[in-house]
Homo-oligomer: A and B are copies of this chain.
């Protein structure tokens, strides 16, 4: 027996590549996402009453890793990337049916170019992720604060300090003056929140502090270095990238 799933919409996010996406939702509250519902959902009726909820569930497809299939066991980053746990004891992207689940904060819905568009924040989703369901977060049901959570009992510590080079500071100052196509109100805070998660793969930690990492975030090429001894992250360089332009086009004419 099989079931066919059709996305109800697609989300645009500032995360254009897998590297540096926060590993759980709500770790980067400054990140804004916009869900454009499919044309099957013609008006705001389908989200009537959702404005009474501060949080919503997104069920989505890990579309970029789906083709790679799944394995019975995975190595979660929380265990240093060495220890294996069962795929059903993990939130790994490599899983049967490729279904993802994230709670995000909800900022309302509006009609944009004839489509229902929902604004959310704190999501950990790649840009253009297909959304397959949206449900309201019901605290008395979904919130189990006393739950034992195995190897993920505590929120990861993010005690890195962040410094920005002079070039990076100047670039950020220029950005604050222009309206962000990503809805980000403060790029400095956004980049800091992302990098404080220390997105380096476990096997690359404790390498030379000269080593430079780079990622595209919200249409910016961001480069940084990490000094593990002093717990200091330095953003060395920020430059605009081409993705920013195409992104702006995408939003004005959703397909």
Task: Decide: A3 near B137, CB < 8 A? Known: A148-B52, A150-B52.
Answer: no
Q: Which residues of B contact A148 (CB under 8 A)?
A: 52-55, 139
A: interface residue count bin: 35 or more
Bits for A44-61, please: 1 = Cβ < 8 Å to B, else 0. 111111111111110101
A169 → chain B, closest Cβ, in Å?
32
Do A48 and B103 have beta carbons less than 8 Å apart?
A: no
A1 to B25, CA, bound (A): 26
Interface check A189, CB cutoff 8 A: no
Closest chain B CB from A222 CB (angstroms): 25
CB < 8 Å neighbour of A138 from B8, B56, B91: B91
* Pair B46/A72 contact, Cβ less than 8 Å: yes
> Which A residues from 129 to 173 make CB contacts under 8 A with B?
130, 132-155
* A59-B59, A103-B141, A136-B89 known; A150+B73 contact, CB < 8 A: no
Take A4-B4, A24-B138, A138-B91 as given contacts and tell me if A144 and B143 are in contact as well, using a CB distance cutoff of 8 Å: yes
Identify which of residues 3-58 in chain A touch chain B, using a CB-to-CB cut-off of 8 Å: 3-8, 24-26, 40-57
- Tell whether, in the assembled complex, residue A149 and residue B86 are in contact, meaning their CB atoms are under 8 Å apart: no
**Known contacts being A144-B55, A145-B139, is A3 close to B5, with CB within 8 Å?**
yes
Stretch at the interface among A93-101, A179-187, A197-205, A243-251: A93-101
**Shortest distance between the CB of A19 and any CB in chain B (Å):** 20
| Closest partner residue, chain B, to A44 (CB atom) | B86
Asked whether A144 lies within 8 Å of B142 as measured between CB atoms, the reply is: yes
Cα A244 to Cα B86 in complex, Å, equals 34
Residues of B within 8 A of A140 (CB): 24, 149, 152-155
Asked whether, in the complex, the Cβ of B3 is within 8 Å of the Cβ of A134, the reply is no
Contacts A24-B138, A99-B132, A144-B143 given; does A86 touch B4 at CB 8 Å: no
Q: Is A87 an interface residue (CB 8 A)?
A: yes
Cβ of A46 and Cβ of B87 under 8 Å apart?
yes
Pairs across A and B, CB under 8 Å, 15 listed: A3-B4, A3-B5, A5-B5, A5-B97, A24-B141, A26-B141, A40-B96, A56-B88, A101-B101, A101-B135, A103-B144, A137-B144, A140-B155, A142-B144, A145-B145
For the complex of A and B, list the 4 residue pairs with the smallest distance between their C-beta atoms, beginning with the closest.
Answer: A52-B150, A49-B85, A50-B89, A49-B89
